[in-house]
Amino acid sequence: MLTGKTAVVTGSTSGIGLAIAEALAAQGANVAINSYTDKEDDHAAAARIAETHGVEAAYIKADMSDGAAARDLIEQAVSRFSAVDILVNNAGIQYVAPVDEFPAEKWDAVIAINLSATFHTIAAAVPHMRASGWGRIINIASAHGLRASPNKSAYVASKHGVVGLTKVVALEEAEKGITCNAICPGYVLTPLVEQQIEDRMRESGLDRREAELKFFLDKHPSKQFVTLEEISGAAVFLAGNAAAQITGTTLSVDGGWTAE
């Protein structure tokens, strides 16, 4: 379905980003995966994707907290693959503290990686997409792009910002064959959420299942975590031709959280 297309997925050495890169490759897309490290495992992950799916894949190091590096990721991908057709802005971090105790440097880091990097990669990718007359921009926002929770000021602000940016880019590119949408996951069991579960168990003294139900699945009417396959499936759908007229919107994959 995506044979001949090139996808760039930021923050894709683990969790949701890696699952999306794999799913796009399974549809025939060449993929650039990314993180801020330069480990053997990073390059091995790209080699494994290439071999498994018979596509081209490369690992490109770029720190999404640095706007220039985020833009350079796109240029490096274009040099390597001659195009960027699908851009998935996935890199993201979390920090939890009451607003008056929230360290300023943590605020800056969350906004830089979750929101500003999304602006920089889009700005760099859009001219290439316009040149080919086809593009898909998929921003991994969050249910926290639509709803708030206490102690997550930077994360909620960044994800609401991503949803706003998504709408603006969709309008600007609407006549150019480029769509821009946001996926808004509820809680997905990835390293980012595992860390929060462990913190909650430590603070509350609850066992794992009690902590999951009290602090996470209380938000999901389904009482289940979202799976990686459910997020990557949404991304494949938005990347495909069936979604050509879907732009500027949010796709919630959250067990019913934002229906309430």
Catalytic residues: 155
Cβ-proximal residues to 236 (8 Å cutoff; 6+ apart), any chain: 1, 2, 23, 24, 27
Smaller CB separation from ligand NAD, 54 or 256: 256
* Phi then psi dihedrals of residue 59, to 5 deg: -95, 130
Greatest Cα pair distance, the chain, in angstroms, is 56
Rounded to a whole number of angstroms, the distance between the first and last alpha carbons of the chain is 35
- List residues near ligand NAD by CB under 6 A: 11-17, 34-36, 63-65, 90-93, 113-114, 140, 142, 185, 187-188, 190-193
The dihedral sign for the CA sequence 61, 66, 69, 73: positive
Strands across the sheet containing 6-9 = 57-61, 30-35, 6-9, 86-89, 135-140, 178-185, 250-253
Positions of E strands within 66-177: 86-89, 135-140
Q: How far is the CB of 175 from ligand NAD (least distance, A)?
A: 29
Give the tokens for residue 15: 């969790």
Q: 87: how many CB neighbours lie within 10 A of its CB?
A: 30
How distant is the alpha carbon of residue 150 from its chain centre?
Answer: 22
Minimum distance of ligand NAD from residue 45's CB (angstroms): 10
Cα separations (Å) of 227 from 91, 99, 214, 254? 18, 30, 19, 10
Q: What is the DSSP letter of 178?
A: E
